[in-house]
Structure 1
Amino acid sequence: MELTRKNAYTLLTEYTKNDSLLKHALSVEQAMKAYAAKYGADAERWGIAGLLHDFDYEMYPSLEDHPFKGVEILKEKGYPQDIIDAVAGHAEHTGVKRETMMAKTLFAVDELCGFLLACAYVRPDKSIANVQVKSVKKKLKDKSFARAVNRDDIEQGIAEMELDKDEHIKFVIDALAEIGEQLGV
């Protein structure tokens, strides 16, 4: 198996048909690529981890199956261990430790990307580029807003990467703004 974005996208769309889940995958891919560039890592490789982190979720949404089924599929297809470990570690219930910067970054951007898209959707202009850090932090305190987003995971991801919360939120907003049109925000 050749490790390419095209092959990863084909795998994603084989298992994922839901538009919201596809946009989430694209947003996490984008945030991962931006952080890879910041850290001098392989942006395509990190992007592939982001693109595929939830590829099995639509077919296997239970805690017993996700991301375990996806990890099995990635192993069968010959994906590299660092990508498999990042995908496995993005979900706390797997018990897989996040030991690489790729894995830590995937965990740190996953829930935040979903939250930021929700923040953009409720704006009058629906523009991710106009989402403000202050507004995001206020909405994070409102447990009824985007209630499916795990705020503890967002905080834990920031802590694991030893990031400034405001800078992390702003960095991910800016990354997503680069593909806002593709994301519909």
Structure 2
Amino acid sequence: MTTMVPTRDEALALVHEYTESPGLRRHMLAVEASMRAYARKYGEDGERWGIAGLLHDFDYERWPNNDHAADSEHPSTGVAILRDMGVDEDILETILAHADYTGVEAVSLMSKTLRAVDELTGFITACALVRPTRLAGMKTRSVRKKMKDKAFAAAVSRDEMMENCAELGEEMGDHIAFVIGAMQLAADDLGLNGPPPG
């Protein structure tokens, strides 16, 4: 079977087929936006990077893998579905590498970027949801302040965010600002464009 990169419509159809949760769908869109922005910065293939970001968690809701099995459930089950479709191996490796427990190391720039933006987009979303203006006007310092508050979004590992950023070779402040900017451009799709109606 020839390898390929799914179109965005095909990738979105998979997301909608396997994921009911609006929040998880929006997370994948946030990661996609960040991956596309970094691809532009690094002179890489934005479509390929965006699709990897969009699909990285499409199987999570059905196969959450609470036991962190290396070769079953999320993300291995999703990767098996994509492999059957003929999706390019570098995209599959990137998706596998975003989970520490798969044993697949993040060696490519694409996989390091996915790891660096995955947790951070979730944290920035959490920060936006407690702001009246959501993503509009968000500054790096406000995210940094929330990172120091251990009670805020406590499930998000600050150490992991810092380590993944360092692996990518970016400075944390610059990385936060860059991802905020990428998410602001997609704020409508993320449901984070200004205060909720009413």
TM-score range, shorter chain: over 0.9
1:83 partnered with 2:86:
no
Q: Which residue of the partner structure matches residue 45 of structure 2?
A: 42
Q: Which runs of 5+ in 1 are unaligned?
A: none
Q: What is the Cα deviation at residue 157 of structure 1?
A: 1.2
Of the two, which has the highest radius of gyration? 2
Q: Which residue of the partner structure matches residue 19 of structure 2?
A: 16
Contact 1:107–1:153 (CA under 8 A) maintained in structure 2: no
Q: Which residue of the partner structure matches residue 127 of structure 2?
A: 119
Q: Which runs of 5+ in 2 are unaligned?
A: 193-198
Q: Percent identity?
A: 50
More helix by share: 1
Q: Find the partner of 1:138 among 141, 145, 156.
A: 145
1:155 partnered with 2:162:
yes
CA deviation string 1:83-123 (max 9, x = no partner): 00010000111121111110000000000000001100000
Question: TM-score if structure 2 supplies the norm length?
Answer: 0.89
Q: Which residue of the partner structure matches residue 71 of structure 1?
A: 79
Question: TM-score if structure 1 supplies the norm length?
Answer: 0.95
Distance 2:5 2:154 in 1: 38
What code does the residue aligned with 2:169 have? Answer: E
CA deviation string 1:107-154 (max 9, x = no partner): 00000000001100000222x132211111111122221122222221
What code does the residue aligned with 1:20 have? Answer: G
Distance 2:160 2:94 in 1: 15
Q: Which residue of the partner structure matches residue 173 of structure 1?
A: 180
Contact 1:158–1:164 (CA under 8 A) maintained in structure 2: yes
Q: What is the Cα deviation at residue 2 of structure 1?
A: 5.8
Distance 2:190 2:54 in 1: 13
Q: Root-mean-square deviation (CA), in Å?
A: 1.2
Contact 1:129–1:173 (CA under 8 A) maintained in structure 2: no
CA deviation string 1:41-85 (max 9, x = no partner): 111110000000000000011223211111111111111011000
Contact 2:96–2:102 (CA under 8 A) maintained in structure 1: yes
Q: Find the partner of 2:105 among 74, 87, 97.
A: 97
Contact 2:49–2:110 (CA under 8 A) maintained in structure 1: yes
